[in-house]
Chains A and B, each alone.
Chain A
Amino acid sequence: MITIEDENFLLRDGEQRCRRTYNTYSALEEICVSKAFRKTVCKAHCPPDQIHFPFSFQLDFWLNPSTPALPVDVRIPAHSLQAVKIFLESHGIEYSILIEDLQVVLDREKQDIVASQQMERSSSTFNYGTYHSLASIYQELDNLASEYGNIVSKIQIGESYEKRPLYALKIASDYGNDPSITSLLNNLDIFLLPVANPDGYEFTHTTNRMWRKTRSKNSGSLCIGVDPNRNWDAGFGGKNKIYLCSLFVPTGPGASSNPCSDSYRGPRANSEVEVQSVVNFIKDHGNIQAFLTLHSYSQLLMYPYGYKCTPPADNAELNTIGKAAANSIRSLYGTTYTVGSICSTIYQASGGSIDWSYDYGIKYSFAFELRDTGRYGFLLPAAQIIPTAEETWLGLKTIMEYVRDNPY
């Protein structure tokens, strides 16, 4: 199936551009696009020396195969190691071993996690200042629900692709200790989904720290996973797939239609069970007043839209709330957040969660990009976990208090 990448560029009059798109691994197509829509010449040529690796090898590509000249990183299960070596040698492909035994490396890392886990049988000893495995997080959810049973309960809103439960905590009713929190919880229930993509989260611990997507299989492709924040039903995909050679696809920017891309939007909106589960929960529950989502990184506090660059109807109000929340965040450690719509602060991207929630009717829809601004990026040192949480909480509280005081 031929797919075309979404683009945001402008051509000079009469100019033609050729773009490469990937048709799984079996063909590399060059598509020539003319600004006038009149002429489209699509030609296909396959790069030399394409090699198809048997599925039975069960290879897990860390650095994806792209062109013949570039190295590829592959994780090979033990049972196919010998066969893969023979296969590579018979094709004259040089290889070297980066990690002899991945399990040894992971075991060493696990030892650290287990050591701190042993302290965490009750929530009073859970170490919030370190990274945790999925199992450890899920254990802590149980601890919280049991120790604070009067206000916290654990619910399951669905299952991931690999059948891991999607757990949320419902925080409700009278808290009693802190007047501001009591006042919040007297008026609102808070649902917290700590791990929205448990399959991906687990994968970052076991295999690829930089994995961003779900772990669903894509038919017709070796590549796995969908970007769950491009999969929501908000400006999803191109309006019309026949706009194959159209430059100005008005919807669907910033989300790839290539399964191998880290921002692959998926075959259709809500194709990912992780996304569909949240949508179902919101629709079934009803009366959701706010939708807040936490991401990393860049220190941004954003409201819709991402799929288009026109402001939402509530632009002024959302901007005011955002600025107040950013001020609260800054008050603790001086961390500065930039406030604005997704499109103006970060990029134009379709299929985002808060665009869907806002268009669904949830006026107070915000997305946070947490610390930092690029120095460590995704690899934020554990020492910053608690300070990040403390300051972010102040921002969330500001928004929640506004929501409490301004029902609609």
Chain B
Amino acid sequence: MPGLRAALPAALLLLSSFPPAAAEQYPWPQAPGVMHPLNPNSREAAWAARTVLHYTNYRTASPSLLWVLHHVEKATVKVGGAITLGDIKYYLQFTIRDYIHEKHVGSCSATVLYLKNSPPQVRAKCVHARDKKQIQEADYRLYKYLQSQKKPITANSIPDNHGNIDRDHLSLLALAKVGSSDIMWKKSTEHVGYFLAQVKVVKQQIRTDDAVEFNFIVLLHKMPTQEMVACNMNVVWTLNDPIRVKYTCAPDNHELEDGSGQDSGSAAGTSHETKGNF
């Protein structure tokens, strides 16, 4: 293909004009369209796997079924064919552990496509031995319990400063994890990743309809900058629909990503300004 041929020499020229420090960014040659094996211990592989899990944790929308990364077994990477440097696709195989009950394990096969100006595109297939019916029942029990509250549930600091989590707060943490997984997935890039560090504040919003609604302030630990990003997050949960998340995060003081506006968003693409008291 003539177009592609013309593109290649330009790509090489581009590379040679970079000082060595910049070229070190990618430890694989940047020939487009070729798959390169990646050290499964590398940070890129681990962060790509976590991006997958943020996405699946959000999309599954089940406080009773949340996963964390255990170990990356295999990773390959492919640079996009159009030589747009933001177009990088990871192919991963990794093992997972349950977020709440560590003994449950599983594994995933996934791809992550990091794009320039949109959230990463994730495709994943995960297998595990958790009982589907049990999970549904647990979610249902939690949902019913929260929905039946007349007085709004509130709490601070989950886990507390010494890592303790009250049994009563475990489900609130799980709900926060589902919601903040949406935030973390959307904000993840090839070089920036997040952990949910703490739920600072949680306050239920009693509704007249069937849904369960909570307002959270969550702290996200951002890597590699080590910033603590505080986000106001509103979560609306109905059992059989996708969970609805709206959020606004305090912009970081050290942004690696291209910042062109305050960080905010939701699936619907609007920012929700929190009013009222916490």
Interface residues of A (CB under 8 A from B): 5, 7-10, 12-13, 17-20, 22, 63-64, 66-67, 69-71, 73, 94, 96, 98-99, 109, 130-131, 204, 209-210, 212, 227, 247-248, 250, 253-254, 256, 258, 260-263, 308-310, 336, 338-340, 344-349, 373-382, 384
Contacts and interface: CB of A to CB of B under 8 A. Distances in A.
Contacts of A204: 161
A182 B160 CA distance: 41
19 contacts: A7-B256, A12-B85, A63-B250, A64-B253, A67-B262, A71-B278, A209-B198, A210-B219, A247-B22, A253-B21, A258-B253, A340-B41, A344-B43, A347-B43, A374-B195, A379-B161, A379-B163, A381-B162, A381-B163
B71 A336 contact: yes
Contact of A210 (B102, B198, B252, B253): B198
Contact of B255 (A20, A67, A227, A250): A20
B149 interface: no
B99 A262 contact: no
Given A66-B251, A263-B254, A346-B43, A98 B159 contact: no
B41 A338 contact: yes
A336 to B, nearest CB: 7
Contacts, number: 156
Contacts of A63: 230, 250
A344 B219 CA distance: 26
A82 to B, nearest CB: 20
Interface string B43-72: 100000010000000000000000011010
A214 to B, nearest CB: 14
A237 B157 CA distance: 36
A263 B84 CA distance: 30
A389 B55 CA distance: 34
Nearest to B41: A338
B227 interface: yes
A382 B159 CA distance: 12
A310 B24 contact: yes
Interface in B107-139: none
B274 A71 contact: yes
B253 A260 contact: yes
Contacts of B22: 8, 10, 247-248
Interface in B27-54: 27, 41-43, 50
A364 B159 CA distance: 37
Question: Which of A10, A130, A254, A260 has most chain B Cβ within 10 Å?
Answer: A10
Contact of B226 (A212, A345, A373, A380): A212
Contact of B197 (A19, A67, A98, A210): A210
A98 B278 contact: yes
Question: Which of B41, B69, B161 has most chain A Cβ within 10 Å?
Answer: B161
B224 A347 contact: yes
Contacts of A338: 41
A71 B232 contact: yes
Nearest to A298: B223
A70 B24 contact: no
Contacts of B248: 69-70
A5 B255 contact: yes
B21 A248 contact: yes
B224 A346 contact: yes
Contacts of A373: 68-69
